[in-house]
Amino acid sequence: MRTVVILGLVFVVSILISATMVRGQAVSLDYVDGLHDSNSIAWGQRIMFRVRMTTDSLGCKGISNGFRIYSNSGAHWSTSTGDWTGAIDTTMFQMLWVVYDGVTGSGADTVGFAGIYWDQSTGIPPYFDAVAITLSIGPIDAEHEGKTVCLDSSFYPPNNVWQWVANNDNSDRIWPSWDGPHCFTVGRPPWCCRFRGDVEDKGAGPVHIGDLVWLTEYVNEGGPPPPCLEQADVNGDGLIDDDDVDYLNAFMFSGGPPPVPCGEHD
């Protein structure tokens, strides 16, 4: 499988290098899940960067874009992951990749995205405009409050290019613009807690199965963030992770301790 991936990416490179160069079209950060305010992200929760891709009158038959998540102030996070949202699918590109380089959750993590069309696919159509990819990190520990985390464009191996290929007879190379870098300060989550375990934010207890389902989907399946993140921090340790899922599950079904009251921490 690794050989197939490498050969496919080399093929992407060969298309990119052989084409005529033009400029245009855009890649931009659309929004961020986990914002504390417009310039900061909250510790204790997963952070998801949602990236938009926009074409003009030229569609694309190949793309290669890398992104670097980094901190110049020493912030750490859990491993970085990338994913296609489904807006670009196998009807457009028969081959889609997510490539990781030096992903450790500290320093600088690089995640690359590549795709090419083949006989049975169409490429990205003209005037496409959608959130196409996501990059996720976190949760970030509270000890990193005040530090910065940044997202910027990047080369990644083996492609080492930031380019698209136009879906025209000349296979023109496109250098899509990028609106970054984007940097955010790690901040304290806004306080909204009334009853920990009320993940759905019903207004009060009792905890029920819907709270556990929401928490599980958020932590393990990329589901939407709870309305009040503090209420999902069931064990009060400042993080929302598998420990909270286990804690809530034990409380509901195994006689475990109740959720830690708001304002208290283990």
CA distance 240 to 199: 11
Average confidence (pLDDT) over 11-25: 49
Helical (H) or strand (E) element with 229? helix 229-232
pLDDT of the residue at 199: 94
218 touches 189 (CB < 8 A): no
Give the list of residues 6+ apart from residue 235 with CB closer than 8 angstroms, or none: 243, 244, 247, 259, 260, 266
Give the list of residues 6+ apart from residue 72 with CB closer than 8 angstroms, or none: 148, 150
pLDDT band at 266 (very low <50, low <70, confident <90, very high): very low
Q: What pLDDT, in 10s, does the model give residues 199-236?
A: 998 876 679 899 999 999 999 888 888 888 889 999 99
Look up residue 117 and give its DSSP letter.
-
Share of the chain above pLDDT 90, in %: 55
Assign a CATH topology to domain 191-266.
Answer: Type 1 dockerin domain (1.10.1330)
Assign a CATH topology to domain 2-187.
Answer: Immunoglobulin-like (2.60.40)
Which is more confidently placed, 239 or 256? Answer: 256
pTM attached to this predicted model: 0.70
Q: Could you give the residue range(s) of every CATH 1.10.1330.10 domain in the chain?
A: 191-266
139 touches 31 (CB < 8 A): no
